């Protein structure tokens, strides 16, 4: 039995069959404007007939591009996989890039060693653009990107003014979304709200508290706000702490749907009915908001669409477009918890 493998067709083989130089064949297969349409079509037809598969490295050398876009994450991996926000972002990005020749590359930068590795990739031009999906601005890496003129898109509002105009920005307006949540609670006639959000230094926490407070004013005092983590366990612990103080509470503004899941469990422990005794409103509209009992009224954040738009802007910046800021709108999703 003959087990030898058939030799792969090379660019040189295609060039010889077409009667052109290797460089001309390469330019034709990369749609260079220097090659006539007729010659390009003839060489492409030959390449297809011969079974030629372009080499990614060779294509990158010919085009001057890596044909890859990095997705930068500065959170630990456990947070990346436990928070559905990141999954929605990445899903939108990869869906958009799947329609193109660009390959998504996931870059982890939660430790100093990882940041140094990302720095080396940036300096080697291992990718054509970077999409930063983390809520915290990594000044070290952004400064390197700025120095190298690496096209970049940030998912989230820029909190450091020195990066204004340097990168494209995509975000949903957290303050407006929080105002919508708070107004929904006011319309229900609630008078004693509490707010449970993520870490104090997280921009989303800050903007959401700003939105809640703009509606409730002094009714949402500092001792009615708890900063914690974004997950259900943190929401449960925070709500149990609030209930143990025996202060009047008739509404909970949860900074994420995962926090709201923990809040619902804590209220159940105290035999409080939702929404009859206490209204609960979430934030994000992840799939889990439809699975709680009662189902969760929440603020829908178009995370998947943000990812798609970020990928689109990254590709436009690669082509030379100036950075722009795109703000997407949130909307109220009414279910049974308010």
Whether the pLDDT of residue 160 is over 90: the answer is no
The whole-number average pLDDT for the span 166-183 is 97
Going by C-alpha positions, the residue among 172, 171, 124, 133 that lies closest to residue 152 is 133
- Please tell me the distance from the alpha carbon of residue 168 to that of residue 326, in angstroms, as a whole number: 8
Lowest mean pLDDT among 4-8, 106-110, 211-215: 4-8
The answer to whether residues 294 and 274 touch, using CB atoms and an 8 Å cutoff, is yes
In sequence order, the 6+-apart residues with CB closer than 8 A to the CB of 18 are 25, 42, 43, 46
Burial environment of residue 148 by CB neighbours within 10 A (0 to 12, 13 to 18, 19 or more): exposed
% of the chain exceeding 70 in pLDDT: 95
Question: Which pLDDT value is given to residue 1?
Answer: 46
Q: Which residues pair with 106 in a beta bridge?
A: 71
Domains delineated in the chain: 11-63 (1.10.260.40), 68-172+304-328 (3.40.50.2300), 174-300 (3.40.50.2300)
Express each pLDDT in 249-264 by its tens digit: 999 999 999 999 999 9
Tell me 271's DSSP state.
Answer: T
Predicted model pTM: 0.82
Torsion sign over Cα 76, 79, 81, 85: negative
Express each pLDDT in 56-80 by its tens digit: 555 665 566 788 999 999 988 888 8
Which residue, chain included where needed, has tokens 């929440």?
Answer: 298
Chain mean pLDDT for the chain: 92
- Please tell me the distance from the alpha carbon of residue 228 to that of residue 205, in angstroms, as a whole number: 10
Express each pLDDT in 266-306 by its tens digit: 999 999 999 999 999 999 999 999 999 999 999 999 999 99
The answer to whether residues 52 and 84 touch, using CB atoms and an 8 Å cutoff, is no
In sequence order, the 6+-apart residues with CB closer than 8 A to the CB of 91 are 304, 307
Return the exposure string of 277-304: e unless at least 16 CB atoms fall within 10 Å of the residue's CB, then b: ebbbbbbbbbebbeebeeebbbbbbbbb
Residue 56 neighbours by CB distance under 10 Å: 13
The answer to whether residues 248 and 278 touch, using CB atoms and an 8 Å cutoff, is no
């Amino acid at each position: 039995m003959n087990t030898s493998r058939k030799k792969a067709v090379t660019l040189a083989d295609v060039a010889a069959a077409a009667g052109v130089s290797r460089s001309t064949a390469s330019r034709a297969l990369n749609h260079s404007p220097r090659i006539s349409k007729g010659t390009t079509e003839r060489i492409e037809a030959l390449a297809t007939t011969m079974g030629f598969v372009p080499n990614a490295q060779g294509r990158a050398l010919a085009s001057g591009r890596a044909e890859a876009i990095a997705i930068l994450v500065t959170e630990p991996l456990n947070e990346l996989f436990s928070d559905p926000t990141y999954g929605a972002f990445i899903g939108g990005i990869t869906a958009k890039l799947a329609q193109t020749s660009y390959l998504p590359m996931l870059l982890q930068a939660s430790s100093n060693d990882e940041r140094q590795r990302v720095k080396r990739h940036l300096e080697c031009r291992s990718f054509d653009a970077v999409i930063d999906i983390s809520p915290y601005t990594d000044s070290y890496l952004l400064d390197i990107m700025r120095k190298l003129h690496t096209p970049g898109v940030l998912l989230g509002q820029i909190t450091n003014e020195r990066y204004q105009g340097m990168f494209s920005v995509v975000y949903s307006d957290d303050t407006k979304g929080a105002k919508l949540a708070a107004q929904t609670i006011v319309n229900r006639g609630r008078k004693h709200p509490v707010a449970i959000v993520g870490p104090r230094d997280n921009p989303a926490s800050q903007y959401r508290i700003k939105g809640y407070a703009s509606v409730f004013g002094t009714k949402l005092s500092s001792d009615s706000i708890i900063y914690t983590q974004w997950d259900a366990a943190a929401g449960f612990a925070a709500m149990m702490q609030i209930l143990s103080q025996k202060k009047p509470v008739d509404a909970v503004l949860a900074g994420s749907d995962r926090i709201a899941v923990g809040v619902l469990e804590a209220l159940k422990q105290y035999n409080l009915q939702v929404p009859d005794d206490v209204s609960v409103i979430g934030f994000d509209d992840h799939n889990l908001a439809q699975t709680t009992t009662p189902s969760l009224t929440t603020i829908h954040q178009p995370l998947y669409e943000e990812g798609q738009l970020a990928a689109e802007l990254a590709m436009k910046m690669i082509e030379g477009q100036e950075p722009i800021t795109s703000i997407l709108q949130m909307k109220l999703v009414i279910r049974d918890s308010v």
